[in-house]
C-alpha cells in the first residue's frame, strides 16, 4: 500500500492555473496519478462528433507529452470513475482524489458517486473552482439564494462579491513521484498506452476532411493562441476600442477565438480574464476605468453557467422553469435535415452549417443567424433540435452556455417576453457581414461562379446568369426550403398572439435592455435593414 494522490482530469485539461494539481502535489514523496477516464460522458463525449473528439484527444496528448518530460504520463483508462478509483485504492492505497469543479447539473450524479466512494473508503476528496471565474453557488447565495434572472442583475451580484481570483502559480513537476499502473489495471480496464484515435472510440468522419481552418487541441496551442489574441486586443485598446471582432466580424481570416480552449479547459478562464484586464490597464495607465465590456463574452459564459446550476432540465423545454413553453411545430418533410446539412437554399445559412460540420466552429454572429433561422426567424422548429446538433459538432459547445444561447435566440428565455420584433434576415445580414460573397463560395462551392449581386439570393438570378455560373437553382443548388419573408411574418404574428394569451410573464429570464439584446445578437447599431420588422 503505497498511498498516493490522484488528479482527475475532466474539463480542466491544463497544468497552468490548476489548483487541483497544487492540492495533489502537496506531498511530493507520495505517488502521483494523473488520470483521464473515458466513461462515455466526461468532457462532453456522450453525443460527440469527430472534430470535438479529435480536439479532446489532442488535448490529452499534449498533457501526456508534458508529463513525459518529467518521467511520468497521463493514465488514460476506459471505465467508470468510481470503479477506477476503487481499484487504485485497493492496489496502491490512494489517500486523496483532486479535481476541478464541474458545476453543471449533468455531472452531479457522476461526482456524487465518487464522493460517496471516498466517504466509504476513507479517501480525501478535494474539489476546486477554476473552470469558472466565480463559484456559481457563491453567486446564487449573494443574490439571495436564487440565480440572477438578468445579465444586469448578474453583473450587480458579482460586483458585490468582488473580482474573481487571480490564477494560482504554476507547479514545477521536477522530482514528482510518478507511478506506473500494474498489470491488474490492464486486465480489469482498457488502458491506453498512447492517446487513442477517434476511430478507436467508435467516432468516424462523416464527410471528407476538407477543413479550411485547423483547430488544434491542447494547452500548448491554447497558450500560444492566447498570446496572438492579446496582440489583437492590444491594438484595439490602443485605438480606444474593445471587442475588435464584435462590430465587424471577419468570417474569412483565421479565427482568434479562444472559446474551444476555454471550453475544454486547455486555457484557464482566469488567466485570460486577468491578462485582458491587466493589458487594458497597462495601455490606459489607469486613466480609464476597467470596464466589464472588454471581457463581456467571458461574463456571459459565467451567467449561463450560474443559471444552469440547480436546473437539471435547463437544456430542454419540459420542466424547465426559466423557459417559455412555445408551441413549436414538428419538422415537415426534410426541412430539419436540410438545415443540418446546409441545403436550405439560403447560401449564408448553408455556408455556416457546412462550416460547422467540417471545422467545428462558427463566429457568434453566424451562430445567431442559423439559430434564428431554425427557430422563431423562419422554420419555427424547437431550439432543442439545434442544441442537440451543436453539442455534437461545435468544438466550444458547453452544455449550459450552448443551451442558454439557444434559449435566448429562440425567445424561449433570457429575453423580454416573446419580444421577437427583430427577425434576422439571412440575406441582408450575410451581405453586410461578408459583402464579397467569398464566405459562401468557400463553403458552398456550387455557387462559386455566381455573381456577387446574387450570391446571397441565387434564386433571384435570371436563368441566363444561372447557366453562365454553371449553377441552376433547383438542380445544382437547392431552391429555398421556405419563403423566408412569409415565414418571418407568420412567426412574428404567432409570437404576438402568444404574448396576448399570457397575462403576465412566467419567471423566465429576460434581458435588461434593448441594447443588451442587440449586443448579444451581434446586430450592432447601424443595420436596421438586416432585420425583418415589417415583413
- Residue 508 in contact with residue 317, Cβ under 8 Å? no
CA distance 151 to 128: 25
Interacting residues of 345 by C-beta distance below 8 A, sequence separation 6+: 338, 459, 473, 477, 478, 479, 480, 481
* Chain-centroid distance, C-alpha 332: 29
Q: Which residues pair with 125 in a beta bridge?
A: 97
Is 297 annotated among the ligand-binding residues?
A: yes
Is 393 annotated among the ligand-binding residues?
A: no
Interacting residues of 219 by C-beta distance below 8 A, sequence separation 6+: 13, 14, 15, 16, 59, 62, 63, 66, 266, 267
Is 151 annotated among the ligand-binding residues?
A: no
Grid cell, residue 68, equals 513525459
CA distance 454 to 447: 10
CA distance 176 to 262: 27
- Residue 264 in contact with residue 59, Cβ under 8 Å? yes
Closest CA to 337 of 364, 374, 287, 285: 374
Interacting residues of 401 by C-beta distance below 8 A, sequence separation 6+: 300, 301, 304, 305
Geometric angle at alpha carbon 12, from 132 and 50, rounded to 5°: 115
Grid cell, residue 354, equals 457546412
Geometric angle at alpha carbon 63, from 4 and 265, rounded to 5°: 100
Residue 342 has, within 13 A of its CA and on its CB side, a CA count of 17
CA distance 93 to 54: 34
Grid cell, residue 494, equals 404567432
Exposure string of 481-498, with b = 16+ CB inside 10 Å and e = fewer, is bbebeebbeebbebbeeb
CA distance 424 to 377: 6
Grid cell, residue 61, equals 496528448
Is 242 annotated among the ligand-binding residues?
A: yes
Is 397 annotated among the ligand-binding residues?
A: yes
Is 222 annotated among the ligand-binding residues?
A: no
- Residue 395 in contact with residue 464, Cβ under 8 Å? no
Interacting residues of 317 by C-beta distance below 8 A, sequence separation 6+: 323, 325, 326, 382, 384, 412
Is 473 annotated among the ligand-binding residues?
A: no
Is 215 annotated among the ligand-binding residues?
A: no
Grid cell, residue 456, equals 446571397
Residue ranges for the known binding site are: 242, 297-304, 396-398
Binding-site residues for FAD, please? 242, 297-304, 396-398
Amino acid at each position: 500500500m503505497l498511498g498516493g494522490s490522484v488528479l482527475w482530469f475532466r474539463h480542466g485539461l491544463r497544468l497552468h492555473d490548476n489548483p487541483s494539481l497544487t492540492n495533489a502535489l502537496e506531498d511530493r514523496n507520495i505517488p502521483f496519478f494523473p488520470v483521464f477516464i473515458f466513461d462515455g460522458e466526461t468532457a462532453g463525449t456522450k453525443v460527440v462528433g469527430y472534430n470535438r473528439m479529435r480536439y479532446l484527444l489532442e488535448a490529452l496528448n499534449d498533457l501526456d507529452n508534458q508529463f513525459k518530460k518529467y518521467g511520468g504520463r497521463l493514465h488514460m483508462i476506459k471505465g467508470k470513475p468510481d470503479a477506477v478509483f476503487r481499484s487504485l485504492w485497493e492496489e496502491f492505497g490512494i489517500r486523496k482524489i483532486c479535481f476541478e469543479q464541474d458545476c453543471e447539473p449533468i455531472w452531479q450524479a457522476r461526482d456524487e458517486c465518487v464522493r460517496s466512494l471516498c466517504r466509504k473508503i476513507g479517501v480525501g476528496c478535494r474539489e476546486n473552482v477554476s473552470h469558472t471565474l466565480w463559484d456559481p453557488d457563491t453567486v446564487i447565495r449573494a443574490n439571495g439564494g436564487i440565480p440572477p434572472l438578468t445579465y444586469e442583475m448578474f453583473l450587480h451580484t458579482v460586483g458585490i462579491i468582488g473580482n474573481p481570483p487571480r490564477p494560482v502559480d504554476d507547479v514545477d513537476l521536477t522530482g514528482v513521484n510518478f507511478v506506473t499502473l500494474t498489470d491488474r489495471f490492464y486486465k480489469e480496464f482498457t488502458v491506453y498506452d498512447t492517446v487513442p484515435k477517434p476511430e478507436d472510440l467508435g467516432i468516424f468522419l462523416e464527410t471528407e476532411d476538407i477543413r479550411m481552418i485547423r483547430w488544434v487541441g491542447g494547452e500548448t496551442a491554447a497558450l500560444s493562441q492566447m498570446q496572438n489574441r492579446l496582440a489583437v486586443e492590444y491594438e484595439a485598446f490602443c485605438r480606444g476600442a474593445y471587442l475588435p471582432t464584435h462590430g465587424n466580424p471577419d468570417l474569412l481570416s483565421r479565427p482568434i477565438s479562444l472559446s474551444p480552449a476555454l471550453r475544454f479547459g486547455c486555457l484557464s478562464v482566469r488567466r485570460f480574464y486577468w491578462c485582458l484586464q491587466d493589458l487594458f490597464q497597462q495601455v490606459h495607465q489607469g486613466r480609464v476605468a476597467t470596464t466589464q465590456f472588454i471581457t463581456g463574452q467571458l461574463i456571459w459564459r459565467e451567467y449561463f453557467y450560474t443559471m444552469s446550476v440547480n436546473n437539471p432540465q435547463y437544456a430542454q423545454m419540459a420542466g424547465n422553469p426559466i423557459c417559455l413553453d412555445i408551441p413549436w411545430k414538428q419538422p415537415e418533410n426534410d426541412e430539419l435535415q436540410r438545415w443540418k446539412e446546409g441545403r436550405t437554399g439560403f447560401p449564408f445559412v448553408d455556408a455556416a452549417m457546412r462550416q460547422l460540420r467540417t471545422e467545428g466552429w462558427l463566429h457568434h454572429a453566424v451562430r445567431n443567424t442559423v439559430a434564428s433561422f431554425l427557430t422563431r426567424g423562419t422554420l419555427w422548429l424547437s431550439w432543442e433540435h439545434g442544441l442537440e446538433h451543436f453539442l455534437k459538432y461545435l468544438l466550444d459547445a458547453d452544455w449550459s452556455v450552448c443551451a442558454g444561447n439557444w434559449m435566448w435566440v429562440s425567445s424561449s428565455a433570457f429575453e423580454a417576453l416573446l419580444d421577437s420584433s427583430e427577425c434576422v434576415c439571412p440575406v441582408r445580414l450575410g451581405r453586410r457581414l461578408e459583402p464579397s460573397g467569398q464566405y459562401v463560395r468557400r463553403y458552398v462551392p456550387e455557387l462559386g461562379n455566381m455573381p456577387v449581386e446574387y450570391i446571397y439570393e441565387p434564386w433571384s438570378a435570371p436563368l441566363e446568369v444561372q447557366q453562365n455560373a454553371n449553377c441552376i437553382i433547383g438542380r445544382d443548388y437547392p431552391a429555398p426550403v421556405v419563403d423566408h419573408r412569409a415565414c418571418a411574418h407568420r412567426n412574428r404574428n404567432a409570437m404576438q398572439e402568444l404574448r396576448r394569451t399570457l397575462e403576465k410573464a412566467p419567471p423566465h429570464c429576460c434581458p435588461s435592455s434593448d441594447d443588451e439584446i442587440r449586443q448579444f445578437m451581434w446586430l450592432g447599431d447601424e443595420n436596421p435593414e438586416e432585420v425583418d420588422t415589417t415583413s
